[in-house]
Amino acid sequence: MSGTDTQLHEFNRQAVWAGFKQLVPISVFVTAFGAAFGVAATQSGLDDPLIVLMSTLVFAGAAQFAALELWGPQVPVITLVITVFAINARHLLMGATLYPWLRHLSPARRYGVMLVASDANWAMSMQAFSRGQPGMGLLLGGGLALWSFWVVGTGLGIYFGGAVQDPKHLGLDMVMGCFLLAMVVGGEKNLRMLIIWIVAAGTSLLAWRYLPDNSHVVVGALAGGMVGAFWLEQNDEH
């Protein structure tokens, strides 16, 4: 890693604000999913303050919807923990790919940035890094945009009730997937990234075929993340 590359981790308020504004358009769609969660959580019997608190502190849409499926008088805590971990295991791969820049930050800044790491802002920050541009401001600012619109959407879902009960009917469930695919296709292209994605995809498909439900998310993320971490260490030695 060159001396110039090591400066790409730096960010300030202006960079964070620019990242926030850049992610606002995609964050509008996140509002719809937040509203859908607010509706579903209300129908599950959760109190309004608890619903807003969950979206504020957890900020993981798919995991929150999964938690609702397990919610009831007797919550299976172990099953809930395993399910949430499986759904969010892709963050292991995100962390591995961001490691070359995260390692230059203090622990407080490093984990503060990763608190709001999500698919969209991670993909856009990685694309910025691949172009030789700073990406941490985009990661943090974009994450704050996604988080704030998610919380606002949750509040709207609680207030308006059944306004957005079926985002799939509107095709909104495909927005984030298509956005992430576009970012990956337009991102860094080299042998290292190709191998990481092949390993992650291949092991995930094998786990989906032969292992229990949801385990493919964990297996794919772990396999890709380990390849990425190992390759980074090898590069750093030269």
Phi and psi of 72, rounded to 5°? 175, -170
Smallest CA-to-CA distance from 221 within 122, 91, 98 is with 91
Nearest in space to 124 (alpha carbons), one of 85, 97, 153, 86 = 97
What confidence score (pLDDT) does residue 4 get?
41
Q: What is the pLDDT of residue 152?
A: 95
CA separation, residue 45 to residues 21, 40, 50, 66 (Å) = 35, 9, 10, 15
| Per-residue pLDDT at 235 | 45
pLDDT 10s digits, 221-238: 678 777 876 775 444 444
3-state secondary structure 70-138: HCCCCCCHHHHHHHHHHHHCHHHHHHHHHHHHHCCCCHHHHHHHHCCCCHHHHHHHHHHHHCCCCCHHH
Alpha carbon distance 116, 153 (integer Å): 16
pLDDT at site 86: 74
Does this model's pTM top 0.75? no
Q: Report the alpha-carbon distance of residue 101 to residue 4 in Å, rounded.
A: 12
CB 79 within 8 Å of CB 71: no
Query: What proportion of the chain, given as a percentage, has pLDDT over 70?
Result: 79
What is the pLDDT, as a whole number, of residue 140? Answer: 94
Asked whether the beta carbons of 36 and 62 are under 8 A apart, the reply is: no
DSSP states along 155-187: HHHHHHSSTTS-GGGGTGGGHHHHHHHHHHHTS
pLDDT digits (tens, 9 = 90+) for 101-148: 998 889 999 898 999 999 889 989 998 998 888 889 999 999 999 999
Sequential pLDDT tens for the chain (238 residues) = 443 455 888 888 999 999 999 999 989 888 988 888 888 888 778 889 999 999 999 998 878 887 887 777 777 788 778 778 877 878 888 888 898 899 888 999 989 899 999 988 998 999 899 888 888 999 999 999 999 999 999 999 888 765 555 655 655 555 545 545 655 565 566 777 788 878 888 888 898 888 876 567 667 767 877 787 677 544 444 4
pLDDT at residue 95 in the model: 87
Orientation of helix 61-70 relative to helix 48-57, angle to 10°: 140
